[in-house]
Chains A and B, each alone.
Chain A
């Protein structure tokens, strides 16, 4: 039926809209969710305030860069701050290349590799039928390997997510067994950095894969259609487009690493050393493992009030470092927000 003047005129009168009414359920729900926010935020603010109130007056240049004593008067954050810096640097140097590499392989090349292996398996199987003796053994081995590529890729794929959920203490035990005992690195900054690198590796891989996945495939296809090799397409177009996301995820992973204390305790971190560690990562193998969370943990456990105040100051410093790192991540995310 078309709408003409006549058909419109013949329409029955339209029923009036319902009046706005009071819905008690809405009000209750509103109150509940608002209450949840208030409880969460206010408890956070209260904790922060109680720490900042005590800690901030204690922070000065001596606390950060000079003091290194055993008494409350002479105690400072110098060694811990330097130690954390070196540990973070080592973690970054190890975990970023490994994590980015693994993410690029798993996201961009594993499937193609699997397909090639599957095709090769078919060829090898046909060849096997015509072969005798030693050649047969060689072909069999290659056939088994070709068949293993797919399941291996899937196994790695599944277990990276599982590894991200493993408690950090377990990584501490791994670091103790592998780096301290087996590799003989002793309880050094190097061992701590490597342990934390293992801890954040799955997180970096997962977040980098997500960033790579977010780059539309049309960009990669466009590059391939110009006659670039798969590697050129990934290196020249996909990775540059994904790098802000990959860095954002990695910085957040690094801020997790800098706040971790449990694995460092297991690896054998110390809390007091008369020697101020060198910030040169080359020397990390011979420096005792010192880090900010360990120092805070130690001070907070001491009975003296003055040490607890120092712990508060340490917490403030750690928090400032964390906030700085997170703001870099947020800046990167906003600066290079998705354009497709």
Chain B
């Protein structure tokens, strides 16, 4: 029960005030990433109402005719963190890129099925994919700051979206991504002079600066050390009150620590000589990790997966 009260207290901590409030400093002291995982390591969050934001119906993706993902039915609720987990090649990233039409940019990519965002068909031919990408931001696996100054990294997105880039807005974005204190004295320094973890938080700040509804994160911590990883995890929990977050991760502890809902994908179609991803199970994170319905999920989350 003691954990419950602690959770409640932390929950209050986390949920008071907007993410750009002064509490940008990050607490990582009481969690050790290297130690064995228990479900109680979870970053606590209260129960949130489930309002569907993305609804996927029989969604599949093919690259030049080869299926990469098939028949995915999934609901991503608003103001929650949804984690996509699964082995390599199971279509997690592919599916994530369907959610903001980044797959449009890959020659030969084709999408089947229906993706709706707040009730609108995302692939309706009358919808502008540029606006889709503005409303649904993305953070990539490898930090990819623009080869310009820190300030220009933030202002580029504002400029292309017609937001006047004031110093206040720049500061607000950097504070929201919990990097303000580290860069406030060198906003005109080259973004490449930052460390990997700082670069990734700069990329998050850049995405937040255009005020999106959703943040898609494609393995955002895979290139980072455990400290930077924890910093970004804490940040996600802070941000989810204002945004909806979908994260692809190879790190099951990470999914367990931060997500409210987890979708487990696996590779299928081997018997037909194909290799595509399918959704096995999607449920509340605690359920996926403690009492999954499917044997494959249990094998994967307990580390018995082949």
Contacts and interface: CB of A to CB of B under 8 A. Distances in A.
Interface in B140-184: 140, 142, 144-148, 156-157, 159-161
Contacts of A339: 147, 190, 192
Contacts of B203: 222
Contact of B138 (A219, A225, A228): A225
Contacts of A111: 107
Contacts of B146: 219, 222-223, 237, 241
Contacts of B144: 216, 218-219, 221-222
Contact of B133 (A219, A226, A237): A226
Contact of A222 (B107, B131, B140, B161): B140
A296 to B, nearest CB: 43
A127 to B, nearest CB: 15
Interface string B100-128: 10100101000000000000000000000
A227 B131 contact: yes
A207 B207 CA distance: 33
A340 interface: yes
B130 A229 contact: yes
A260 B131 CA distance: 51
A114 to B, nearest CB: 9
Interface string A106-123: 000001000100000000
A89 interface: no
A229 B144 CA distance: 18
Interface residues of B, number: 29
A240 interface: yes
Of B102, B130, B142, chain A has the most CB atoms within 10 Å of the CB of: B130
Given A115-B107, A232-B160, A237-B156, A226 B147 contact: no
B160 A228 contact: yes
A62 B138 CA distance: 65
Contacts of A75: none
Interface residues of A, number: 21
A237 B105 CA distance: 17
A224 interface: yes
B304 to A, nearest CB: 25
Contact of A225 (B107, B137, B147, B192): B137
B105 A224 contact: yes
A54 to B, nearest CB: 48
B92 to A, nearest CB: 17
Of A222, A236, A237, A340, chain B has the most CB atoms within 10 Å of the CB of: A222
B250 interface: no
Given A111-B107, A218-B142, A218-B144, A227 B210 contact: yes
Nearest to A218: B144
Contacts of A225: 100, 102, 133, 137-138, 140, 207
Contact of B160 (A216, A219, A226, A241): A226
B15 interface: no
Contacts of B147: 219, 240-241, 339-340
Contacts of A227: 130-131, 133-135, 137, 157, 160-161, 210
Interface string A37-53: 00000000000000000
A258 B169 CA distance: 50
Given A237-B156, A240-B148, A340-B147, A224 B192 contact: no
Contacts of B145: 222
Contacts of B102: 221, 224-225
B264 to A, nearest CB: 26
B207 A229 contact: no
A229 B210 CA distance: 14
B206 interface: yes
A241 to B, nearest CB: 5
Contacts of A224: 102, 105, 133
Nearest to B108: A115
A340 B207 CA distance: 21
Nearest to B145: A222
B21 to A, nearest CB: 24
Interface in B55-101: 100
Nearest to A226: B157
B169 to A, nearest CB: 14
Contacts of B133: 224-227
A221 B206 contact: no
Contacts of A229: 130, 160
A211 to B, nearest CB: 13
A168 to B, nearest CB: 36
A227 B145 CA distance: 15
B160 A218 contact: no
Of B138, B190, B192, chain A has the most CB atoms within 10 Å of the CB of: B138
Contacts of B157: 226-228
Nearest to B212: A227
Nearest to A229: B130
A226 B131 contact: no
Contacts of B207: 225-226
B140 A226 contact: no
Contacts of A115: 107
Nearest to B135: A227
Interface in B235-254: none
B248 to A, nearest CB: 14
10 contacts: A222-B145, A225-B100, A225-B207, A226-B137, A226-B160, A226-B206, A228-B156, A228-B160, A237-B156, A240-B147
Given A221-B105, A228-B130, 7 more contacts: A221-B144, A225-B207, A226-B160, A227-B135, A228-B157, A236-B160, A340-B192
Interface of A: 111, 115, 216, 218-219, 221-229, 232, 236-237, 240-241, 339-340
